[in-house]
């Protein structure tokens, strides 16, 4: 999936996710658009991880997510990497 295939809401979410990645100094992967689309479809904001919805301490580039990226090289959703 590419950025151009996303609707306006999904593109806005993808841009916000990219901004968070840049602020934390991590890279994005090709899976970012898929996660942005899923996040919008599920009605989740950036503070909730679509792969770990019940974990209140995990969201895109939260401290927990960032630690996971540093330890394993990528987040569990596969959209951010070291």
* Residue-wise pLDDT tens digits, 13-68: 999 999 999 999 999 999 999 999 999 999 998 888 888 889 988 888 899 999 99
Q: Is the pLDDT of residue 72 over 90?
A: yes
Task: Give the integer Cα–Cα distance in Å for 9 and 45.
Answer: 11
pLDDT at 53: 87
Classify 9 as helix, strand or coil.
helix
Classify 64 as helix, strand or coil.
helix
pLDDT at 8: 97
E strands, the chain, in order? 27-28, 80-81
Task: Give the integer Cα–Cα distance in Å for 33 and 55.
Answer: 22
């Amino acid at each position: 999936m590419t950025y151009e295939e996303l609707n306006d809401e999904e593109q806005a979410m993808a841009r916000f996710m990219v901004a968070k990645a840049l602020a934390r100094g991590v890279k994005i992967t090709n899976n970012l658009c898929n996660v942005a689309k899923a996040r919008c479809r599920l009605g989740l904001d950036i503070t909730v991880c679509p792969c770990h919805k019940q974990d209140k301490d995990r969201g895109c580039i939260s401290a927990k997510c960032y630690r996971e990226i540093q330890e394993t090289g990528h987040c569990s959703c596969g959209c951010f990497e070291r």
